Amino acid sequence: MSVNKLATFEENRTRLFGLAYRLLGEATEADDVLQDAYLRWADSDSVDVPAAWLTKVVTNLCLTRLSSARARRERYVGPWLPEPVFTDDGRLGPLETVEQRDSVSVGLLLLLERLTPAERAAFVLREAFGYPHADIAEVLNVPEPRVRQLYRRAREHVRQSQRRFNADPQQCTEMVRRFLAAAADGDVAGLERMLAKDVVSWSDGGGEVSAARRPVMGADRVSRLLIGFASHPRATGAVIDIRMVNGAPAIVARREGTLIAVLHLEIEAGRVRAVHNVVSPTKLAFATAQQK
């Protein structure tokens, strides 16, 4: 590959990774897609608009993977959650606005799982990257009216289901700090006061480590579950921190430099409405590597 081609790919890498991650919800898979795209770019002939060509290749590689991912996730052991990505290093691109942070939030990525691959692509390209319908039609190889239909269906589905979470990062960080302190102190009553009555906790252990295989519902049950997490033998000797993950502050636990848990809180009106706890070593591998 020529130096110019390599430089062009590197100039687009962050944007392409952010695109692939939003489409797949899996950072490791997004990295694999970029490797495949790189090889195709290396073998390509002259390209008039490299950024557009690379976007099309990455999007269609993701669409192929999404078709098989749905079947895999139906066989997944316990709840499936997106792979966490540390975002304080700009890995997913700029996250300065509420809309940009929403585009990589765990809540939105889970909603996108309910869309068809084509709907997801149309939504991500339009909402997260601002692509015109005509350009999306070129990427997806479909007529523009079809893109408008895909995007309209996706947007309606997301807006019907989505609540606005974690809008103020500073307030959210303070809430996470209080939450962490209550869990560490075994303060069940204190945790309950921070939880919505209908709070739901999801744990992704992937069948690799012990984790609840069904959602846990209700403030009392969730608070006791979280106290159990904090006192579990796996947490002994762990270093607990708060870091920006998927555009929001999250509770991060490490042992000997390896992540053992990343816990996201979805906060609305001063209450925790959902807890997403990733403890699968496979799911945490990418984020662990980010720290090295």
User: What's the pLDDT tens digit per position in 99-117?
Assistant: 889 899 999 999 999 999 9
Both structure tokens of 221? 């049950």
- Mean pLDDT on 14-37: 97
Q: Are residues 240 and 282 in the same domain?
A: yes
**Between vectors from CA 286 to CA 277 and to CA 17, what angle results, nearest 5°?**
110
Model confidence at 288: pLDDT above 90: yes
- The owner of tokens 């799911």 is 283
User: What's the pLDDT tens digit per position in 195-239?
Assistant: 999 999 999 999 998 888 999 999 999 998 888 877 776 777 889
- Mean pLDDT on 131-146: 97
What is the H or E stretch that residue 204 is in?
strand 195-204
Residue 54 covered by a domain: yes
Work out the pLDDT band at 164, boundaries 50, 70, 90: low
Residue 155 covered by a domain: yes
pLDDT on residue 242: 94
pLDDT on residue 70: 78
Averaged pLDDT of the chain: 91
Q: CA–CA separation, 94 vs 117, rounded Å?
A: 24
Containing domain of residue 156, as a range? Answer: 106-162
User: What's the pLDDT tens digit per position in 35-85?
Assistant: 999 999 999 988 889 999 999 999 999 999 998 887 788 788 999 999 999
Residue 99 covered by a domain: no
Both structure tokens of 246? 């998927």
Q: Are residues 178 and 279 in the same domain?
A: yes
Residue 235 DSSP code:
G
CA–CA distances in Å: residue 175 to residues 162, 247, 274? 21, 15, 13
> Is-contact 22 109, C-beta < 8 A?
yes
pLDDT on residue 193: 93
Q: Are residues 243 and 268 in the same domain?
A: yes
Counting the structural domains of the chain, the total is 3
pLDDT on residue 129: 95
b/e code 2-34 from CB counts within 10 Å (16+ = b): eeeeeebbeebeebbbbbbbbbbbbbebbeebb
Q: CA–CA separation, 267 vs 170, rounded Å?
A: 12
* Nearest residue to 267 via CA among 286, 250, 290: 250
> Which CATH number covers residue 47?
1.10.1740.10
pLDDT on residue 98: 84
> Which CATH number covers residue 149?
1.10.10.10
pLDDT on residue 29: 96
* Nearest residue to 250 via CA among 101, 128, 124: 101
| Strand 195-204 to 248-255 pairing | unpaired
Q: CA–CA separation, 30 vs 237, rounded Å?
A: 32
